[in-house]
Amino acid sequence: MTAVPARLAPLLDPSSPVQQLAARLVAEGHSCYLVGGTVRDALLDESRPGSDLDVATSARPDAVEAVVRDWADHVWLQGQRFGTVACEVDGARIEITTFRAEVYRPDSRKPSVAFADDIETDLGRRDFTINAMALSLPEPRLVDPFDGAVDLAARRLRTPLAPDVSFVDDPVRMMRAARFVAGLGLEPVPELVEAITALRARLDIVSAERVRDELSKLLVVADPSAGLWLLARTRLADEMLPELNAMQLEQDPVHRHKDVLAHTIAVVCNTRPELRVRLAALLHDIGKPKTRSIGPQGVSFHHHEVVGARMAEERMRALRYPNDLVSEVTKLIFLHLRIHTYAMGWTDRAVRRYARDAGPLLDDLNHLVRSDCTTRNKARARAVERRVDELDVRIAELREAEELDRIRPPLDGREVMAHLGIPPGRIVGEALDSLLEARLDEGPIDKADAYARLDAWVAERGDLTAG
């Protein structure tokens, strides 16, 4: 019997949910194997977030349902037609999938599922050798027909079958390769890289949601740079994020400064592994190719943050990201250069407007600004740090003095309507905007002063029924 990693010991206790499941399946004449990331990570002596377990079995889905129905706390059958029954026992969620050989038709986004009768066939249809290992249960024995353990030790990424077969079966595996290269520090074998390059157009049959999910998983690994470079050099990025390779241009063709893509990937790696700020870092300069111009002072990218925010919104919507996340990321991109307009110092007015425009994204915005400084010029880097540090101090001071996080007009809409004797409508909004501008410029305004300002605004505007 192969030695079992200590990390798996709790799962292999006879009282554990997965061992109870194995005993029930075996008692009905079926085989049972623990598969997937749990086995891989145990050999790496790593653990990853989440308590989900993957089990493969010779039992067909209806037989699996019969085994778990009166035993599990909850049972889910949404994936049953694809061979998967999910259940939860004592807080552990287990996905039980019948051995299968799954093939995508060339013109279809949906797999055509054929069940198999042995674990080796099932493992051969998995994405990479490091994930094509299984541990038989209830008596543990490692099944590794494609030398996944050897590849793990060598930090090598291979497919169980020929890579073109694997990627035709499920094209999203090409993106998954980037995640494993980055997340596990693996080196893809040359034939895998060649297959991605040759088959990248096949990603077109994959739904935007699956592509989005894989991109998101890549972005939140500790250091996604190797995966992003793999997407770029194989041109796979062109199929779902063409803006990435468009940034492979020199910032200054005379002095040969670093290209925008290299800078972008460095910024991504500088940021926290959180999806919102990582997406903002990845997309913050995508407007540069469209705004690039060369003049006497060298290259410039005027208003690239405005163009980039619009492009980021279009790309994120195409990838089906949630509306709230799209709005947050585009706001971070739109504002990421704002701090540089205050190079001469922070007035109270400037701080109020900066904090008001950033809103709840203020911390992420300042983090992105710091991360965006990848220059080797130490003096310039220190200047950016000082500018953000000074801003942090000014925000803290005004926050304490003025409730900075809740800047609003000194009057609300009901008070404006009552004072002016007007119904709801556009005029009320314009009046509130005027009062808000005064609040941002001057700080707190009391009610009496606010009403006086409102009267002055009306006098200057004239007829409230006009327009």
CATH of the domain at 188: 1.10.110.30
The CATH number covering residue 79 comes to: 3.30.460.10
As for how many domains the chain has, the answer is: 4
Give Dmax over CA atoms of the chain in angstroms. 91
Look at residues 106, 123, 150 and tell me which one is the last residue of a structural domain: 150
pLDDT at 260: 87
- Is 454 part of a structural domain of the chain? yes
Of 152-166, 190-204, 306-320, 351-365, the poorest mean pLDDT is in 351-365
Mark whether 360 and 413 lie in a shared domain: no
**Is the model's pLDDT at 82 over the cut of 60?**
yes
- Is 95 part of a structural domain of the chain? yes
Look at residues 198, 214, 240 and tell me which one is the last residue of a structural domain: 240
pLDDT at 401: 61
* pLDDT, the chain, mean: 86
- Is 467 part of a structural domain of the chain? no
Mark whether 249 and 313 lie in a shared domain: yes
Higher pLDDT, 319 or 2: 319
- Is 141 part of a structural domain of the chain? yes
Mark whether 257 and 369 lie in a shared domain: yes
Mark whether 122 and 249 lie in a shared domain: no
Residues 335-352, mean pLDDT to the nearest whole number: 77
Cα 374 to Cα 160: distance, rounded to the nearest angstrom: 40
- Is 292 part of a structural domain of the chain? yes
Residue 343 sits in which domain range? 244-407
Cα 225 to Cα 219: distance, rounded to the nearest angstrom: 9
Query: Which residue, 102, 112, 122, 93, is CA-closest to 31?
Result: 122
Locate 61 and state its tokens.
């889905």
Residues 134-162, mean pLDDT to the nearest whole number: 95
Mark whether 216 and 284 lie in a shared domain: no
End-to-end CA distance of the chain: give it in Å, rounded.
85
Mark whether 171 and 284 lie in a shared domain: no
Residues 319-336, mean pLDDT to the nearest whole number: 96
Mark whether 291 and 196 lie in a shared domain: no
- Is 466 part of a structural domain of the chain? no
Mark whether 122 and 159 lie in a shared domain: no
- Is 1 part of a structural domain of the chain? no
Residue-wise pLDDT for 396-410, tens only, equals 877 766 566 567 777
Cα 294 to Cα 457: distance, rounded to the nearest angstrom: 45
- Is 10 part of a structural domain of the chain? yes
Mark whether 442 and 380 lie in a shared domain: no
Confidence of residue 46 (pLDDT cuts 50, 70, 90): low
**Is the model's pLDDT at 294 over the cut of 90?**
no
| Cis status of the peptide bond prior to 424, with omega within 30 of 0 | no
Mark whether 146 and 174 lie in a shared domain: no
Mark whether 398 and 414 lie in a shared domain: no
Please, what sign has the CA dihedral across residues 107, 108, 114, 120? positive
Residue-wise pLDDT for 237-270, tens only, equals 999 999 999 998 655 454 444 688 999 999 999 9
Q: How far is CA 416 from CA 390, 420, 430, 432, 439, in A?
A: 37, 6, 11, 8, 15
Of 83-87, 124-128, 160-164, 252-256, the poorest mean pLDDT is in 252-256
Residues 222-232, mean pLDDT to the nearest whole number: 97
pLDDT at 258: 61
Mark whether 278 and 391 lie in a shared domain: yes
Look at residues 407, 432, 449 and tell me which one is the last residue of a structural domain: 407
